[in-house]
Structure 1
Amino acid sequence: MNLFSDLRVLVVDMLAQMSAEGDLPEGLDFANVAVEPPRDAAHGDMATNAAMVLAKPARMKPRDIADKLALKLATDPRIVSAEVAGPGFLNLRLAPSEWQRIVKTALSDGVAYGRSDLGQGKKVNVEFVSANPTGPMHVGHTRGAVFGDALASLLDYAGFNVTREYYINDGGSQVDVLARSAYERYREANGKEPEIVEGLYPGDYLIPVGEALKEKYGATLLDKPESDWLIDIRDFATAAMMEMIRQDLASLGVAMDVYYSEKSLYGTGQIEAALERLKGLDLIYRGTLEPPKGKLPEDWEAREQTLFKSTDYGDDVDRPVQKSDGAWTYFAPDIAYHWTKVERGFDMLIDVFGADHGGYVKRMKAAVAALSEGRVPLDIKLIQLVKLYKNGEPFKMSKRAGTFVTLRDVVEQVGADVTRFHMLTRKNDAPLDFDFDKVLEQSKDNPVFYVQYANARVCSVLRKAVEAGLIVDDTTLAGADLSLLGHEAELDVARKLAEWPRLVEIAARHNEPHRVAFYLYDLASAFHSLWNRGNEDMSLRFLQDGDAVTSQAKIAMARAVSVVISAGLGILGVTPVEEMR
């Protein structure tokens, strides 16, 4: 049930009647008519922009349309009042029964309340993390992992068929560096002094890899030329790093559906096939690019190269796909990889990149638009940096990783639930501060605690109700006399519950899971406000001594809050707590 959608249907029906009766021209497009919460809650429960968006095509004054629409809407029993404001906005106040009905619906539907068929089963590929398999995941990967996983859950909740995918960057020079670094740890395991020269990976995490190599090869690779061991050690070390990454993700509660290897694209004709498709669209040519202003990118050459005509799809310049010596640029396998996604039948692609990939967005979107001939949209979400603090000071180092704080460091200190929720307290493209002390603070200023505390309070009410002999299963509560919930503070909570289905669809349309975290904080705030009002006004307390009927109605309200909090936390990948300690 989406009350906002229901009221929009009512508004559109009334507009259609006005057209039929001659109060509006026929043939108007009502697609941009919206019903949403007003900016100021004092103005009403809902507002519609109908008069504003129809005034120009109808060649009428917005106020004239709004006045007539208000009269129509006032005849519906769900509408208590319809008032015109300003140049033509229409504010609606709903009967209390509509808000009370939301509580019943939330309890009857359970965790399905708010689920949507927006996606209509469309196949979506969400590629996220995709860290180089050269070491443990760092805190920047943590934010991307949480965002991508929560987005996938949000889209699933909104009716999409979602695949979580990790692209293993195991085809570039970085895995050769990994092999050389692992070889030094292998030498160390054999009693030699490791030579961790500049450019190699210095972290202690490779020490167990070196020991495992010794167990497999003994001393047979010592003093052998690199050509004898590079490929074997590269494959061994890459597999070890990917196992570490899987464990890191598991500690955060993230499980991928697909791990796709970049290396599998080489020597299989897949890169050639993708570029051949672009060539068939007359988008591949030989040419020399003008030198860019400022710092030269690594894929620029002052020689003739094979170029992709990405400017035809909105990019700033055309992009090299093959160097003058015949080697592929790093962009070429990425084109091929995304072509596999198109061929696998996905209706929509989402890539979650680090902030340092901002310059890659236009070219990748151009490639997918060209490959799919505009059929498959690609949305790229950039994840901004995380700044870590502890005891009020920047927190930067991890001995195990060598140069950075790892995902495991964060999870071990504050837990997966706290980590996940806090990583979604800012929009993905905004920097985020992560203070190890503040994320564990038990105060209103800590959204993780504030939301969990609301759920714990509900659970406390339910336990006390059971002790008092009340029946508080969801079916019984859904049948309570909810007309007893008439106080404005109670209706405010119900109004916030009513926003949940609408919020899910908006967040899913924009691929913004942080909206769920924001909403949960607002819902918790409304609930805590009601709870605190009960300290002064005993009639607002959830348990009314000697009055089981009223108690059940009020407990139903509390339980509905818990249902929605649990659903929202489920999307974020956070376990709701039943008791705060």
Structure 2
Amino acid sequence: MTIREELEQLIGSALQSAVEDGTLALDQIPPAALERPRDESHGDWASTVALRCAKLARRAPRDVAQAIIDHLPQNELVESAQIAGPGFINLRLAPATLQGVVRQVRAEGADYGRGSQAQAQRINLEYVSANPTGPLHVGHGRWAVLGDAIARVMRHVGYDVSEEFYINDQGVQMNVFGNSVGVRYLQLLGYDVELPEQAYGGAYVADIAQAIIDEHGRAWEDATDEERMLAFREIAYERMLSLNREVLADFGVTFDCWFSERSLYAPDDQGRNAIDRALAAMTAKGFIEQRDGATWFLSTAFGDTKDRVLVKENGEYTYFMSDMAYHLNKIERGFDHLIDLWGADHHGYIKRCEAMLEAWGHPGRLEVVLGQLVNLFRDGEAVRMSKRTGEMVTFSELIDEVGVDATRYLMLSRSSDQQIDFDIEAAKKQDASNPVYYVQYAHARICSILRRAAGGQQAAGGAVEAADAALLAARVAGPSPDLAPLTHEAELALMRKMANFPELVELAARDRAPFRLTHYAQDLAAAFHQFYTHCRIVGEDEAVMRARVALADAARIVLALTLSLMGVSAPQKM
């Protein structure tokens, strides 16, 4: 049971007692509904239950609040309970309660804050889903880290999440890609041919063409344009998909499923594909209409602004038709809730997809998270092109220059519905102005403190430098030292911050808002630095040192856990 749940039980018991002895006249006991005060000086938790009870009890809110406080059971959780404003009840935790957080963190380690909610619900989280016709751009990188971090925090609080990449490998753009490589191939062989207006013109296309020449020479020189396009389409597709897989894996992003759009067009034993089956199923539900030679989905029946074409007059399926089949496939695979992470330019696409799921009989099971773009800067100046290629800066180039940790942290630093101004030079700084450096330095500093503390426990020349921080903390503090000495305000503030973690990660998962982890990590690092400034560890008497080592170790654990949920490393040395 969390501290919050225990406090809510206390208030509930107080209300019940006040009702039973006649102090308050209530037909039922409302929930305490604790929340964090906006001003930390007002306490650790606040409840508005007295305001909500006042009318029912026919008493002034402050009188109700006083009755609740007077009936609080004897407990070791709360140091003080005070009435504020019109009737808020502000609770301040006792030092012993906060000290218990240190013990809990050290006992649970990476499982601190782990929940078990919604375990029966299977979540499909689809993100990135870039066309395999070019390298990943910086925007893809933001959606990659956002999706990955959402999956991490959701799993930590108990969700069953499957991460999925939808490969858009069907349709005209793939033929355009194959033809573009074919033209570059001929140009590299000395032919005077122009790249069509509808083509992929990036330098990577010429690189693929050169790789084909290196492997196959002039074998495709005399082939027809159609033959060359089809062959090069597949070669280029596999090469680009492999490259993007590699870039994402190096960034720490892996998927449980890479779902190919082409598979939707593969016929089954009866010669029907998933597209045909989805169209037949929607027709059977009565939401398909033939009009002007085309096949329409009657999405206006579900609040869309207009009906949507599924099959064009020429018999070609629209992109929305394959999307309809794809989302039905997700449902058929047993997922209870679908989360799609899209670029903000797809905002207008949401309603038709919601209508489609509702028509399938699954209203409310599609959730779309929109990710805004990333603006690149270098020392305050906008960066439009790569220095190497003269074209867009690819995600891979950004990682190579800035590093995985800084890229991940800064890409998560703002809510997904806000644009990010990413300054490359600022991201590389190794000082307190760089938030990821600031937080990682706090972790490394704790590890250094633990090494120094352990060094005092053994003869010189030992293997302290090579030892793991957790082992050093266990050596110095022991598994359960007396934490009663931890009463300094800086110590209490650090423990309060650690106590906030379970609630923070739960809300980050619920709201698909991992950006909150970055703010929390910085606040926790700052709280540790304040603690270390005011509370000496090495050189104090043994009882104080052991308690403070345990506190520092707990801060290390929570910092490392917070970073891990962002996919950022927690170095022991910097």
Q: Same fold judged by TM-score > 0.5? A: yes
Alpha-carbon offset, residue 333 of structure 1: 0.6
Counterparts in 2 of 1:57 and 1:264: CA distance versus 1, 3 Å: farther
Secondary structure at 1:433's aligned position in 2? strand
Alpha-carbon offset, residue 276 of structure 1: 2.8
Q: Give, as a single letter, the amino acid of the residue that structure 1 aligns with 2:260.
A: S
Does the 8 A contact of 1:34 with 1:48 survive in 2? yes
Partner of 2:382: 394
Q: 1:49-198 maps to which residues of 2 (within 5 A)?
A: 49-55=48-54, 61-73=60-72, 75-193=74-192, 195-198=194-197
Does the 8 A contact of 1:349 with 1:377 survive in 2? yes
Partner of 1:429: 417
Does the 8 A contact of 2:179 with 2:228 survive in 1? no
Partner of 1:25: 26
Does the 8 A contact of 1:100 with 1:483 survive in 2? yes
Alpha-carbon offset, residue 105 of structure 1: 0.6
CA distance in 1, matches of 2:294, 2:361: 24
1:500 paired to 2:501: yes
Instruction: List per-residue Cα deviations over 1:128-178 (Å, max 9, x = no partner).
Output: 110111111010101000101111111111111221110001112111111
User: Considering only aligned residues, what root-mean-square deviation do their CA atoms show, in Å?
Assistant: 2.3
1:457 paired to 2:474: no
Counterparts in 2 of 1:400 and 1:187: CA distance versus 1, 3 Å: farther
CA distance in 1, matches of 2:30, 2:286: 39
How many pairs does the alignment contain?
Answer: 555
Does the 8 A contact of 2:295 with 2:311 survive in 1? yes
Partner of 1:537: none
Does the 8 A contact of 1:398 with 1:404 survive in 2? yes
CA distance in 2, matches of 1:233, 1:267: 21
CA distance in 1, matches of 2:53, 2:393: 55
Instruction: List per-residue Cα deviations over 1:400-436 (Å, max 9, x = no partner).
Output: 6663110111111011011001100000110101101
CA distance in 2, matches of 1:108, 1:335: 48
Alpha-carbon offset, residue 110 of structure 1: 0.6
Partner of 2:286: 282
Does the 8 A contact of 1:74 with 1:82 survive in 2? no
Partner of 2:542: 548
1:272 paired to 2:298: no
* Match of residue 340, structure 1, among 329, 345, 348: 329
Alpha-carbon offset, residue 206 of structure 1: 2.4
Partner of 1:558: 552
Partner of 1:235: 234
Alpha-carbon offset, residue 90 of structure 1: 1.0
Q: Give, as a single letter, the amino acid of the residue that structure 2 aligns with 1:450.
A: Y
Does the 8 A contact of 1:114 with 1:501 survive in 2? yes
CA distance in 2, matches of 1:275, 1:81: 64
Counterparts in 2 of 1:402 and 1:278: CA distance versus 1, 3 Å: farther
Unaligned runs of 5+ in 2: 268-272, 459-470
Q: Give, as a single letter, the amino acid of the residue that structure 1 aligns with 2:429.
A: E
Partner of 2:467: none
Q: Give, as a single letter, the amino acid of the residue that structure 2 aligns with 1:458.
A: I
Does the 8 A contact of 1:455 with 1:562 survive in 2? yes
Alpha-carbon offset, residue 388 of structure 1: 0.6
1:416 paired to 2:404: yes
1:526 paired to 2:520: no
Alpha-carbon offset, residue 19 of structure 1: 4.9
After TM superposition, the score normalised by the length of structure 1 is 0.90
1:479 paired to 2:473: no
CA distance in 1, matches of 2:134, 2:389: 7
Unaligned runs of 5+ in 1: 288-302, 535-539
Does the 8 A contact of 2:14 with 2:69 survive in 1? no
Identity of aligned residues (%): 40
Counterparts in 2 of 1:400 and 1:363: CA distance versus 1, 3 Å: farther
Does the 8 A contact of 1:204 with 1:402 survive in 2? no
Alpha-carbon offset, residue 111 of structure 1: 0.8
Partner of 2:9: 9
CA distance in 2, matches of 1:425, 1:394: 19
Instruction: List per-residue Cα deviations over 1:508-533 (Å, max 9, x = no partner).
Output: 1111111111111111111112223x
Q: Give, as a single letter, the amino acid of the residue that structure 1 aligns with 2:134.
A: G
CA distance in 2, matches of 1:399, 1:493: 45
Does the 8 A contact of 1:105 with 1:478 survive in 2? no
1:210 paired to 2:209: yes
Counterparts in 2 of 1:20 and 1:263: CA distance versus 1, 3 Å: farther
CA distance in 1, matches of 2:444, 2:169: 45
Alpha-carbon offset, residue 549 of structure 1: 1.8
Alpha-carbon offset, residue 74 of structure 1: 6.1
Question: Higher relative CO (CA 8 A, sep ≥ 6), structure 1 or 2?
Answer: 1
Does the 8 A contact of 1:389 with 1:395 survive in 2? yes
Counterparts in 2 of 1:550 and 1:240: CA distance versus 1, 3 Å: same
Alpha-carbon offset, residue 225 of structure 1: 2.9
Alpha-carbon offset, residue 576 of structure 1: 0.5
Counterparts in 2 of 1:306 and 1:99: CA distance versus 1, 3 Å: same
